[in-house]
Amino acid sequence: MGLADQIVVQDAQGWLGPRHVVYVDNSGSPKPNVGAGEQRVHRTIANALTECVDGRGDLIVVRAGHTETYSAAAGLVVNVNNVTILGLGGRTTRPKLTLDTADTVTIDITGSDVTIENFHFVAAFTDIVKGVHVTADGFTLRNCMFTEDSGNFLIAVNLAASDDDADFTTIEGCFFYQPTITCTHAIYMAKELLGVRIEGNYIVGDFVAAGGPIEAGAAEVQLAILIKDNIIFNAASDAVTCIKIAPSATNTGVMQGNSALTADTSGDTPFIGVGLGFKENYGAGVLSTASAFLYPAVDS
């Protein structure tokens, strides 16, 4: 029995509680009232969201191989609180969400406690300013992939438009891959935030901004932040820093177990985290000929 079938059975037997399960599949004609209860198969995620209720914990299940394309700002707006959007499928069949046509195209997360899992986000236009834009607390992005296709994300995931409007965001187990077109950040914290967790991501690209793949805005205090077990390969020769949480001395949190490998030979520091605790982070500014070194140095 597959995951989708298990969800149907569990929903029918009431194991999922009061949450509602909605299905998305654009591979054929819509089929109303498919599955247990009153679930429908929708053609788009936006349509499925109209069937969800704030705070109920609804689940949207998106079929493997499903595709959608967005061409303008707020191309998709996830505005329902406490909803989970789950993509089915493996590496090559997970649902694909393509952003094209304009550099202002976005996927906006405005509902709190939203989870998006197992999707492939594709940049098909040059210098997309921010792909996924989060302005609500409790967002989780898990096991997703961001890649280029005749375009690039300047910022793949942008957190916050105002202070504390993306607190307790979690980004874990994601793959960011933009090797050929210059970009600035995979993950950018634009405002002051609390409880952000960035863990277990693999980031490969040409990140030329001073802050690099993971950065917080220069004056934006990050409280109780955890940046852990991320692996970064930055092909830019001017890659000053790979993870930068600075310059405020009032930042709090931990940067632990990260590896940053860059083509930078200028001797700049791979990690900056003013006010943070460091543990077992490794960085190297020379590719192919040297192993990474422990940074900062071990406390004596």
Strand partners, 277: 254
User: Is 254 exposed, middle or buried, given 0-12, 13-18 or 19+ CB atoms closer than 10 A?
Assistant: middle
Query: What is the per-residue pLDDT across 24-78, written as a single tens digit (0 to 9) for each?
Result: 998 755 555 454 444 579 999 999 999 999 999 999 999 999 999 999 999 999 9
- Indicate the pLDDT class of residue 287, thresholds 50, 70 and 90: low
pLDDT of 299: 74
Confidence of residue 10 (pLDDT cuts 50, 70, 90): low
Q: Does 263 have pLDDT greater than 90? A: no
Mean predicted lDDT score pLDDT of the chain: 88
Cα 248 to Cα 246: distance, rounded to the nearest angstrom: 5
Q: Which pLDDT tens digit goes with each residue over 92-124?
A: 999 999 999 999 999 999 999 999 999 999 999
Two structure tokens written together for 299: 């406390």
Q: What is the pLDDT of residue 33?
A: 45
Instruction: Say which residue, 40 or 236, is predicted with more confidence.
Output: 236
Q: What's the N-to-C CA distance of the chain in angstroms?
A: 55
In angstroms, the CA 288 to CA 255 distance is: 25
Q: What is the per-residue pLDDT across 151-197, written as a single tens digit (0 to 9) for each?
A: 999 999 999 999 999 999 999 999 999 988 888 999 999 999 999 99
229-250 as b/e: b if 16+ CB within 10 A? bbebbbbbebbbbbbbbbebee
Give 40 or 200, the one with higher predicted confidence.
200
Query: Which pLDDT band, with edges at 50, 70 and 90, does 2 fall under?
Result: very low
Structure tokens at 17: 């509680």
User: What is the residue type of 66?
Assistant: H
Residues linked to residue 256 through DSSP beta bridges, in sequence order:
228, 279
Residue 1 pLDDT grade (very low, low, confident, very high; cuts 50, 70, 90): very low
Rounded to an integer, the average pLDDT of 256-270 is 80
